[in-house]
Amino acid sequence: MAPVARHIEAVVFDVGHVLFDWHPRHLYLRLIDDPDRLEWFLANVVTLEWHFQHDAGMSVAEANKRLIALYPEERALIEAYAPRFNETVPGPIPGSLELVDALAARDVPLYAITNFGAEFWAGFRPTQKIFDHFRDIVVSGVERMVKPDPAIFRLAVERFGIDPATSLFIDDRADNVAAARAVGMAGHVFRDAPALKTALIDYGLLQG
């Protein structure tokens, strides 16, 4: 179903699972040979819940300290996470960066709101020229607030200087999109690049 007709002037992207694939598994597949041990490690030690503390603003040093206290025998693997974080990002989501390029070529103002640890972002951002197309990016770990907290959307709208009524937010999580809609933005729940391209065409941002 095409979105309700709405004039859109700016597009705001999520990063993880919209522009780039990401999961700690991609790194630890290289470090843990035994499949059963790998599954145990990801379920109990370097879990998604542990990682998300960085997104909320916890430093690498503090997060490591707390986890090592619980699993001292896993210290080396825990401490490998931060310096090798970029290995948790195997590459872009197929077709997504091409859509960013296409929007930029049409001079559509581009922004992003991402749940991302501040220290991890500092190491990842310089490796990806695609972000040069973005006028500004709000990073949760820097702001110490995470999606779907409406506060991070209000902060982004103010900082970007955009009108939420003419802005489109794209995220793979429905709760994040709902939060964006609650502050007045149009929203698209990302599933894949072809579906997003269709939506962007329907909004008049790209040509079919």
Q: Give one DSSP letter per residue of 138-195, joined into a string.
A: EEHHHHT--TT-HHHHHHHHHHHT--GGGEEEEES-HHHHHHHHHTT-EEEE-S-HHH
* Average pLDDT score, the chain: 96
Partner residues linked to 10 by β-bridges? 167
* 3 or 146: which leads in pLDDT: 146
Range of the domain at 56: 24-88
CA–CA dist 120, 65 (Å, integer): 17
Query: Within this chain, do residues 126 and 165 fall inside the same structural domain, yes or no?
Result: yes
CA-wise closest residue to 3 among 194, 186, 190, 193:
186
Residue 4, pLDDT above cutoff 60: no
Query: Within this chain, do residues 76 and 120 fall inside the same structural domain, yes or no?
Result: no
Residue 133 burial (10 A CB sphere; 0-12, 13-18, 19+): middle
Domain final position from 39, 54, 88: 88
**pTM given for the model:** 0.93
Q: Please check whether residue 3 lies inside any domain of the structure.
A: no
Query: Within this chain, do residues 28 and 118 fall inside the same structural domain, yes or no?
Result: no
Query: Within this chain, do residues 64 and 118 fall inside the same structural domain, yes or no?
Result: no
Please tell me the total count of domains within the chain. Answer: 2
Question: What's CA 123's distance to the chain center, in Å?
Answer: 14
Q: Please check whether residue 80 lies inside any domain of the structure.
A: yes
Q: Please check whether residue 192 lies inside any domain of the structure.
A: yes
The per-residue pLDDT for 2 is 47
Mean pLDDT of 102-115: 98
Q: Take residue 58 and report the two structure tokens written for it.
A: 């916890």
Please report the beta strands in 34-166, taking only residues with DSSP state E, as ranges in sequence order: 110-114, 136-139
Query: Within this chain, do residues 60 and 130 fall inside the same structural domain, yes or no?
Result: no
Domain final position from 36, 66, 88: 88
5 — pLDDT class (breaks 50, 70, 90): low
Residue 3, pLDDT above cutoff 90: no
Query: Within this chain, do residues 110 and 176 fall inside the same structural domain, yes or no?
Result: yes
List, for residues 47-81, the tens digit of each pLDDT value.
999 999 999 999 999 999 999 999 999 999 999 99
Query: Within this chain, do residues 96 and 183 fall inside the same structural domain, yes or no?
Result: yes
207 — pLDDT class (breaks 50, 70, 90): confident
Q: Please check whether residue 68 lies inside any domain of the structure.
A: yes
- Name the percent of the chain lying above pLDDT 90: 96
Q: Please check whether residue 5 lies inside any domain of the structure.
A: no
1 — pLDDT class (breaks 50, 70, 90): very low
CB 197 within 8 A of CB 2: no
Query: Within this chain, do residues 192 and 114 fall inside the same structural domain, yes or no?
Result: yes
